[in-house]
């Protein structure tokens, strides 16, 4: 049996995180806790949009916590733009003495990134698609990472496929 892990995906919207999360979930038989569907469910339940950002992360942390407590490995799909959620994943991994593997997705080719944002349809009920201006705003707010991680440039190759580099990193 493989060692228990917490896999935290990070990166701007449209960088390939969710596709990578889905591929990893299938390849490794692990659940994925994704911030966007959690937040959209909160909105559909009537919570104000300006109240759900941190709350969605807290729900994902609680779900990951429960699964780690049960001895399962988990994947978290979130932008993780600032230190607070990054520290929460480290703390959770430490609490359960599990391997924390961070994969940061970047799309270094701005033309490819913009095309993905403008063309994507995620079909998350209650969540509008993000636009390129939103991504640019988030880019400014995204704090540089200093932690150990694998950085995948998803502009080279297709994010829909399972990058062998990610699987090698997780071994």
Closest among 35, 90, 96 to 65, alpha carbons compared: 96
Domains present along the chain, CATH in parentheses: 5-165 (3.40.50.300)
Can you give the pLDDT at residue 165?
84
Can you give the pLDDT at residue 44?
94
Can you give the pLDDT at residue 168?
85
Q: Do residues 159 and 16 make contact, with C-beta atoms less than 8 angstroms apart?
A: yes
Closest among 154, 98, 152, 107 to 132, alpha carbons compared: 107
What are the tens digits of pLDDT across the range 67-121? 999 999 999 999 999 999 999 999 999 999 999 999 999 999 999 999 999 999 9
What are the tens digits of pLDDT across the range 3-28? 899 999 999 999 999 999 999 999 99
What are the tens digits of pLDDT across the range 147-167? 999 999 998 876 556 678 888
The whole-angstrom distance between residue 97's C-alpha and the CA centroid of its chain comes to 21
Would you place residue 32 in the very low, low, confident or very high pLDDT band (cuts 50, 70, 90)?
Answer: very high
With a threshold of 0.85, does the pTM exceed it? yes
Q: Do residues 106 and 11 make contact, with C-beta atoms less than 8 angstroms apart?
A: yes
Answer yes or no: is pLDDT of 126 > 90. no
Q: Do residues 137 and 74 make contact, with C-beta atoms less than 8 angstroms apart?
A: no
Can you give the pLDDT at residue 162?
63
Closest among 54, 66, 82 to 6, alpha carbons compared: 66
What are the tens digits of pLDDT across the range 127-151? 999 999 999 999 999 999 999 999 9
CA angle 18, 22, 27 (to 5 degrees): 145
Answer yes or no: is pLDDT of 1 > 90. no
């Amino acid at each position: 049996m493989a060692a228990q892990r917490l896999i935290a995906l990070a990166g701007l919207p449209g960088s390939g995180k969710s596709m990578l999360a889905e591929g990893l979930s299938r390849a490794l038989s692990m659940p994925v806790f994704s911030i966007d569907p959690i937040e959209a469910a909160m909105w559909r339940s009537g919570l104000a949009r300006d109240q759900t950002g941190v709350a969605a992360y807290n729900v994902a942390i609680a779900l990951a916590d429960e699964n780690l407590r049960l001895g399962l490995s988990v994947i978290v799909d979130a932008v993780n733009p600032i230190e607070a959620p990054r520290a929460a994943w480290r703390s959770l991994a430490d609490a359960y003495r599990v391997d924390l593997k961070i994969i940061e997705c970047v799309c270094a080719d701005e033309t490819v990134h913009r095309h993905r944002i403008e063309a994507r349809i995620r079909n998350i009920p209650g969540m509008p698609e993000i636009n390129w201006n939103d991504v640019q705003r988030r880019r400014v707010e995204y704090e540089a990472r200093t932690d150990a991680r694998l950085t995948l440039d998803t502009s080279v190759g297709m994010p829909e496929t399972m990058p062998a580099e990610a699987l090698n990193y997780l071994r």
